[in-house]
Amino acid sequence: MAAPRTSLRLVAAIWSGSTRGIHGLGGAAAPEGSQKKGKTLLQFLSDHFYDVEFLREYLLQRQMLKVHQENRFQNKEWIRPDERGRFPLEFSEFPGVPVEAVDASGCAINYDGLDNVLLLKELRSLSLRRCPNVDDWCLSHLHPLANSLQELSLAGCPHVSERGLACLHHLQNLRRLDISDLPAVSNPGLTRILVEEMLPNCEVVGADWAQGLNSEPEEQPQDRASPVHV
Amino acid sequence: MLRRALRLGGGRGLVTRGPGSRGGGSTPDWDGKVSEIKKKIQSILPGGAWNPLYDTSHLPPEHSDVVIVGGGVLGLSVAYWLKKLEKRRGAIRVLVVERDHTYSQASTVLSIGGIHQQFSVPENIQLSLFSASFLRNINEYLAVVDAPPLDLQFNPLGYLLLASEKGAATMESNVRVQRQEGAKVCLMSPEQLRNKFPWINTEGVALASYGMENEGWFDPWCLLQGLRRKVQSMGVLFCQGEVTRFVSSSNHMKTTSGTEVTLKRIYEVHVKMDHSLEYQPVECAIVINAAGAWSGQVAELAGIGKGPPGTLQGTRLPVEPRKRYVYLWHCPQGPGLEAPLVTDISGAYFRREGLGNNYLGGLSPEEEPDPGNLEVDYGFFQDKVWPPLAQRVPAFETLKVRSAWAGYNDYNTFDQNGVVGPHPLVVNMYFAAGFSGHGLQQAPGVGRAVAEMVLEGHFQTIDLSPFLFSRFYLGEKIQEQVII
């Protein structure tokens, strides 16, 4: 069919900015078309509907492919990927240096992917903020890091509930735990209290004790003065 | 191009009105009439459920390749794996017959939903490990288009088994087997126990085994509904009715040594409707007995066990219903959020339920209560369950029972492990029952094993040959090493 090829040509024309105006494009789409003036805009939009959709999806995919992963070595600074998502070449020069902190925020890491993180025996800080695939099963998988992990952040993970937080009791060296913005936790205030009881040496951040409690209405003093009112 | 034309055509249709509506009278509903006529023609054609005498739409179909007796988690798991492993889509017609659609007495929904790998028989450990990975990836296995994902409410807190001096050696060897199979279980001394769980009184405890991963408890009702939804979307038919009769054909044959053997094949299953005498004879090729606590009765209907005792014909399916109680209590100073499911030396167990300091627990009774009904005996809690629990967890001395329920355990009186696979004489009846309290946690693996047996003829992934029926005749028990 001629349609795909014509649409590609039109897309190229839009990007290169060398359009000859609406009428010109309309003419390219339907060579023998005798378009009326009023119908041309609608015709143009319906012709290029799929082109615009394609463009939107392409841009969206480019955004999704940006996997943020930042790492920090012992006594060294964070090593971040450059704008193309590739790590610098000096990464391969550090095979023996232990990794201290991993920032996997926003990353699509899941249960099987965490197996790689668990190999890092000296990991001190793990950040799993806003990871869409981290759930209660993943948290129960973290127990091998019990000896070294001191800081853990789970802020904004949509699938983590209080049942997953309960199995963090294996991580007895944990000093700082961030549990803010967990939509799947049913009672954040009560959960924070129970987690603090469970991990006495750990500072739990992110959930307010009073969250979820309704404040009582204040006592009206004039009620006592007028007992007649029922 | 086609889509554009359809959109424009649809747009035009909205603007103009149909020819009939202009007249002011009622529109002749052409679309409705055409679909009705189509339905009638389809039902008259061969294969449709048309009966000229009366309406049979509430009855099960007249033919089905596989009939699964029992719609609990085991039956639905077998149905799921049969449809998943069939070679061509729509190759096998499966019918699930369940007596009670409300599941009011089904063991699945009345169980506490625990899953653990702390067995001594390697096959049990493998089944449980597979079930854990099935539950972990449940939204990939049981995904249905346009339906919301399942939330099993899985609590990955693990099981803690306690052992006295006598049972410590058994526990150590069990843990070795479990570790070999890949379960993440660790052994703890009484001191480590006190450090980790300060609310335990470790008097009398010599050793404890603690599951670190893939163990815990979940919501069995959610699993059942998820399986039901998926299985219905795969084309399995459901029928509410009771199986009252199996009609089979016999084949008299001689073995190589000259003894006469009668092999039977069930070719018809009579399914009786609820509250009526009406029944439907369903012609079938394979029958799967997944009736849970009533599997023994279903097997008797097929003639299993009717013969002189001591022979293969006379070997019954030794599965009977046993009543078990579960109590829910509240204890304000009880164990914290990290409490696993603790099983005491005496057999009493408990686990936390929710965030509000509520706990569930129970004990297997020595004197079996009458399984005729599901009434709860609160006196049993006072006399037999509370004392060992209060001794093990001193905080439980002040507790208040909130409620309780009872459920059936499809107890295998021979060796308390499941029966899987075909019967040697009734050639096309396959069993998936008798798991004595472990059916829920082993259901995905067992369903897959039975489906492999039906479709391929042998077990492929997990070899469950020690669980075949023939062990009852040969006397080979596969018993769990119970830790005292």
Q: What is the CATH number of the domain that holds A54?
A: 3.80.10.10
Give the pLDDT score at A3.
47
pLDDT band at B38 (very low <50, low <70, confident <90, very high): confident
Residue A16: per-residue pLDDT: 47
- The confidence band for A68, taking pLDDT boundaries of 50, 70 and 90, is very low
Per-residue pLDDT at A96 exceeds 90: no
Select from B356, B381, B408 the last residue of a domain: B408
Among candidate residues A163, A183, A167, the one with its CA nearest the CA of residue B113:
A163
Share of chain B above pLDDT 70, in %: 93
Last residue of a domain, one of B408, B431, B451: B408
Whether pLDDT at A34 is above 60: no
**Average pLDDT value for residue range B412-426:** 93
pLDDT, greater one: B435 or A20? B435
Q: Say if A63 falls within a structural domain.
A: yes
Please report which confidence band the pLDDT of residue B97 belongs to, taking 50, 70 and 90 as the band edges. very high
Residues 2-21 of B with CB under 8 A from A: 4, 7
Does a structural domain hold residue B28?
Answer: no
B216–A contact, CB cutoff 8 A: yes
Supply B404's token pair.
């309780």
- Three state DSSP letters for A173-228: CCCEEECCCCCCCCCHHHHHHHHHHHCCCCEEECCCCCCCCCCCCCCCCHHHHCCC
Confidence of residue B130 (pLDDT cuts 50, 70, 90): very high
Residues 6+ apart with CB under 8 A from B38: none
Does B473 map to a domain?
yes
Q: How many domains does the structure of chain B reveal?
A: 3
* Greater model confidence, B174 or A9: B174
Residue A35 domain flag: no
What pLDDT band is residue A225 in, cutting at 50, 70 and 90? very low
pLDDT of residue B292: 92
Nearest CA in chain B to A169: B338
B117 shares a domain with B257: yes
Chain A residues with CB under 8 Å of B153 CB are 161, 163
- Please report whether residue B15 resides in a domain: no
Q: Are both B429 and B287 inside the same structural domain?
A: yes
The confidence score (pLDDT) of residue A83 equals 58
Name the domain count of chain A.
Answer: 1
Confidence band for A216, pLDDT divided at 50, 70 and 90:
low
A&B contacts, CB < 8 Å: 55
Residues B93 and B236 in one domain: yes
Residue A68 in tokens: 């943020």
CB contacts under 8 A, A 180-209 vs B, are 186-187, 190-191, 194-195, 197-198
Domain assignment present for B46: no
Residues B249 and B268 in one domain: yes
Would you call A133 an interface residue with chain B, using a CB distance cutoff of 8 Å?
A: no
Q: Angle at the Cα of A137 (from B113 to B139), degrees rounded to 5?
A: 75
Q: Does A43 touch chain B (CB under 8 A)?
A: no
Residue A157 lies inside a defined structural domain of this protein:
yes
CB contact under 8 A, B157 and A163: yes
Asked if the model's pLDDT at residue A223 lies above 50, the reply is no
pLDDT score, position B10: 43
Claim to verify: residue B388 and residue B403 sit in the same structural domain:
yes
Mean pLDDT throughout B443-455? 96
- Residue A2 in domain: no
pLDDT (average), residues A26-51: 64
Q: Given a cut of 50, is residue A150 above it in pLDDT?
A: yes
Split at pLDDT 50, 70, 90, the class of A177 is: very high
Chain centroid, CA B286 distance in Å? 19
Q: What local confidence, expressed as pLDDT, does residue B390 receive?
A: 93
| Interchain CB distance below 8 Å, B216 and A140 | yes
Domain that holds residue A167: 41-205
In this predicted structure, the answer to whether residue B146 has a pLDDT above a threshold of 50 is yes
**Residue A54: what pLDDT?**
81
Cβ contact B82:B448 at 8 Å: no
Distance CA B410, CA B294 (A): 8
Q: Which residues contact A196 (CB under 8 A, 6 or more apart)?
A: A202, A204
In a domain, A92, yes or no: yes
- A147 inside 8 A of chain B by CB: no
pLDDT score, position B191 = 94
**Domain closes at, from B353, B379, B408:** B408
Within a domain: A164: yes
Lowest mean pLDDT among A163-167, A213-217, B78-82, B177-181: A213-217
Q: B43 in a domain, yes or no?
A: no
**CA–CA separation, A56 vs A186, rounded Å?**
36
User: Nearest residue of A to residue B354 by CA position?
Assistant: A163
Which pLDDT does position B462 carry in this prediction?
A: 93
Tokens of A108: 């699509």
Core vs surface per residue A83-96: b (16+ CB within 10 A) or e: eeeeeeeeeeeeee
Contact A198 B337 (CB under 8 A): yes
The torsion angles phi and psi of A171, rounded to 5 degrees, stand at -85, 75
In a domain, B105, yes or no: yes
Q: Which domain holds residue B298?
A: 58-153+214-318+413-483
- Is the confidence at residue A14, as pLDDT, over 60? no
Contact flag A197-B156 (C-beta cutoff 8 Å): no
Judge if B265 and B145 occupy the same domain: yes
Q: Are residues B234 and B279 in the same domain?
A: yes
Q: Which residues on neighbouring strands pair with residue A178, listed in sequence order?
A: A153, A205
Q: Which residues from A are below 8 Å from B157, CB to CB? A: 163, 166-167
Q: Are residues B387 and B433 located together in one domain of the fold?
A: no
Per-residue pLDDT tens digits for B230-283: 999 999 999 999 999 999 999 998 888 888 889 999 999 999 998 889 999 999
At B192, is the secondary structure helix, strand, or coil? helix
A217 belongs to a structural domain? no
Domain check: are B66 and B140 in the same one? yes
Q: Would you say residue B287 has pLDDT above 90?
A: yes
Could you tell me if B307 and B235 lie in one domain? yes
Mean pLDDT, chain B, whole residue set: 89
Please give the average per-residue pLDDT across B199-212, as a whole number. 93
Question: A30 in a domain, yes or no?
Answer: no
Q: Is the CB of residue B282 less than 8 Å from the CB of residue B60?
A: yes
Nearest-angstrom CA–CA distance, B413 and B425 = 21
| Residues B130, B268 within the same domain | yes
Instruction: Average the pLDDT over B302-327 and give the result.
Output: 91
pLDDT in tens, B344-381: 999 999 999 988 899 999 998 888 888 888 899 999 99
Contacts of B397-403 spanning 24+ positions with Cβ under 8 A: B398/B331, B398/B332, B398/B333, B399/B329, B399/B330, B399/B331, B399/B334, B399/B359, B400/B329, B400/B330, B400/B331, B401/B327, B401/B328, B401/B329, B402/B328, B402/B329, B402/B330, B402/B358, B403/B327, B403/B328
Q: Check if B338 contacts A (Cβ < 8 Å).
A: yes
Span B208-218, average pLDDT: 94
ipTM of the complex as predicted: 0.80
pTM, two decimals, is 0.79
Q: CA B471 to CA B464: how far, in whole Å?
A: 12
Residue-averaged pLDDT of chain A = 73
The answer to whether residue B438 sits within a structural domain is yes
Is the predicted pLDDT of residue A32 greater than 90, yes or no?
A: no
Query: Would residue B404 count as lying in a domain?
Result: yes
Co-location of B231 and B199 in the same domain: no
